[in-house]
Amino acid sequence: MTSPQRAPGGFPVVGIIGGGQLARMCAAPAAELAITLSVLAEAPDAAAAQVIPSAPVGDHDDVAAVLAFARQCDVVTFDHEHVPANVLDALVATGVPLHPTPEALRFAQDKLAMRERLTEIGVACPAWARARTPADVDAFAAQVGWPIVAKTPRGGYDGKGVRVIDSAAEVDDWLALVAEQEGTEGLLSDGILVEEKVDFVRELAVLIARSPSNQAAAWPVVETVQTDSICTEVLAPAPDLDPSLAAVATEAGLRIAEKLGVTGVFAVEMFEVRDVQTGAPAYVVNELAMRPHNSGHWSMDGAVTGQFEQHLRAVLDLPLGAPTPREPFTVMANVLGRDYPELYPAYRHIMARDPELKVHLYGKGVRPGRKIGHVNVSGADLAQLRERASHAADYLAGVITE
Ligand SMILES: Nc1ncnc2c1ncn2[C@@H]1O[C@H](COP(=O)(O)OP(=O)(O)O)[C@@H](O)[C@H]1O
Ligand SMILES: [Mg+2]
């Protein structure tokens, strides 16, 4: 393996396991700060490998490949949460600092472990249970009422592994499907997560950065809009959010980060609900992500410090940057692939139509429904910003042609 090339002047090498768009988007702030990145990539043409010269190809499950990679780095962090426990343990044994640590990461890797821990530290969650058999699911539904939401504890993203179940009859189908996808052993021993179907007002996210020396910084609470369980739009800050809810949601995020010992950028996905007794705005936590997150892409252009720069500062234990927004609102719209593979020709139209638009594409091949990029636009008129962002995202995707 050739060594990553370090800048003269004592600068470190940050290793990222996984070469997806999150690793790729660290490249610009790393270059600005003369920090060298090295990426353990899935393939030579992975999104991050296209822009980071040191990008050895290796599997995140392969202990030898991961260790050889980590030995070239001063600190190691992640593009995703899929590195298995045995590999994480071997990494810790090398003595290279890992952020987040395996102890923290466990709660983002396993939704059952996450629910247990959050319940222990008194953070509001939807009613939930661990179910190993169809009878367990029925018993839970008898308490909270149908429909319920069933989730595979590990490996899900963008709604894969999440299913709304309307009746007892569907439980067997779901369990059979999960068993087929995951293999029955892990499933039957650990169970699946079942939750009440939350009647939420909207979805929110709290994004935080925490450093090993326990400095933390929180961006404003945002609203995330999901279409078919995939995030399509983020409004930053969440419009008309009750100030006391903003405060308690942020406090919950900071408390979770500290209690779970999270380091780096960390997202808490939440549902905004109404208290059944008082009608007051409240939150329950949906899930955790221990890495830069889609709900923070707005910050690349809309905040004094973007989440990718902040993640680098946090994992290097440098002082954190200000998370302050630059404008009253920033709207982020995701570009989801369609059938149309040609993206570059769309630049001429969207850039001419909106000179304030910021475009971020990930160098990924177009597949229907795949996240291939996003756009940001900032200003004061939220309705107009949403129109501009969604127009550009739709035009890039080929949904509209004018
Ligand atoms: N308990 C629930 N009640 C209502 N909707 C839910 C519930 N859990 C998940 N969802 C919906 O499904 C989406 C994906 O679920 P999530 O647990 O975040 O899975 P993923 O890991 O795929 O992001 C959420 O953003 C939300 O829209
Ligand atoms: Mg989610």
For residue 149, what are its two tokens? Answer: 């939401």
Please give the pLDDT value at position 400: 83
For residue 294, what are its two tokens? Answer: 């889609």
pLDDT bin (cut points 50, 70, 90) of residue 1 is low
| Euclidean distance between CA atoms 171 and 377, whole angstroms | 43
CATH class for the region spanning 13-98:
alpha beta
Please give the pLDDT value at position 170: 85
| Euclidean distance between CA atoms 175 and 68, whole angstroms | 39
Binding residues: 111, 151, 195-198, 203, 286-287
Which of 286, 288, 295 to mutate for ligand 1's pocket (most ligand atoms within 8 Å of CB)?
286
Ligand nearest to the CA of 271: 1
* Sequence-ordered list of residues with C-beta below 8 angstroms from that of 110, at least 6 positions apart, any chain: 153, 154
Determine which helix (DSSP H) or strand (DSSP E) holds 39, and give its type and residue range: strand 36-40
Q: Is 154 left (phi over 0), alpha (psi -120 to 50) or beta?
A: beta
pLDDT bin (cut points 50, 70, 90) of residue 339 is confident
* Sequence-ordered list of residues with C-beta below 8 angstroms from that of 8, at least 6 positions apart, any chain: none
Which of 10-24, 60-74, 330-344, 346-360 is predicted least confidently?
330-344
Mean pLDDT of 10-37: 98
Q: Round the average pLDDT of the chain to a whole number and report it.
A: 95
Domain boundaries, the chain: 13-98, 127-196, 202-397
Taking the CA of residue 157 as reference, the ligand 1 atom at the shortest distance is 22
Mean pLDDT of 225-247: 97
% of the chain with per-residue pLDDT over 90: 86
Please give the pLDDT value at position 182: 63
Ligand 1 site residues, Cβ closer than 6 angstroms: 126, 149, 151, 156-162, 195, 197-198, 203, 226, 229, 269, 286-287
Asked if omega into 328 is within 30° of 0 (cis), the reply is: no
For residue 392, what are its two tokens? Answer: 């550009």
The protein residue whose alpha carbon is closest to atom 1 in ligand 1 is 197
CATH class for the region spanning 202-397:
alpha beta
Ligand nearest to the CA of 154: 1
| Euclidean distance between CA atoms 186 and 227, whole angstroms | 30
| Residue 68, number of CB atoms within 10 A of its CB | 14
Q: What is the DSSP string of 201-251?
A: SEEEEEEEEE-TT--EEEPPPEEEEEETTEEEEEEESPTT--HHHHHHHHH
Give the pLDDT confidence of 199-225 residue by residue, as tens digits. 999 999 999 999 999 999 999 999 999
Tokens 């995703």 -> residue: 80
Ligand 1 centre distance from Cα of residue 172 (Å): 21
| Residue 331, number of CB atoms within 10 A of its CB | 24
CATH class for the region spanning 127-196:
alpha beta
Please give the pLDDT value at position 2: 75
Ligand nearest to the CA of 224: 1
Taking the CA of residue 224 as reference, the ligand 1 atom at the shortest distance is 25
- Whether 202-397 and 13-98 are alike in CATH topology: the answer is no
pTM metric for this prediction: 0.96
